[in-house]
Amino acid sequence: MATGQLACQRPRSLLHLDGAPVFLYHGLIEDPIIEGPPRKRRYWVVASQFRDHLNQIRQSRYQLILLKELWTSMGAGSHGKPVAGLTFDDGLESDYQLAYPLLLEAGAKADFFVNTSDIGLRGHLGWQQITDDAAKWDVLPIPQP
């Protein structure tokens, strides 16, 4: 079928996605002008904006849960609230320095995905940061080299 022949069965205003939203973050920064490599800055969010995101999620009455809980929740958390997830990729230092305190402040949960080949590199999490707070972060244990 040619592209011009594709047609939507329902009006665009009625389209929606089923399921729970998952918000993906790569890193947080304090100052968007001076921090981070220019080619990666476009993927990062200013910490104050992330705090606003957490507030908006709470005000929208979403319950933030971990992905493992999301897979079994059937779209509703405790007390029937809609659920959402937060994830952080790349294992950057900002996960520990900026995101973690804001999550604690908001009483929110998030999943952190760490590339083990980057652990200890400049700008990335170190083993000490990961293992010190592993219980608080609700992460799977990672064997140290």
Return the residue matching tokens 């590199």: 121
Over residues 93-113, mean pLDDT: 92
3-state SS track over the chain:
CCHHHCCCCCCHHHCCCCCCCEEEECEEECCCCCCCCHHHHCCEEEHHHHHHHHHHHHHCCCEECCHHHHHHHCCECHHHCEEEEEEECCCEHHHHHHHHHHHHHHCCCCEECCCHHHCCCCCECCHHHHHHCHHHHCCCCCCCC
pLDDT at 12 over 60: no
Q: What is the pLDDT of residues 49-65, one digit of tens each?
A: 999 999 999 999 998 99
The domains located in the chain, with CATH, are: 19-31+40-136 (3.20.20.370)
**pLDDT on residue 44:** 87
The pTM for the full model equals: 0.74
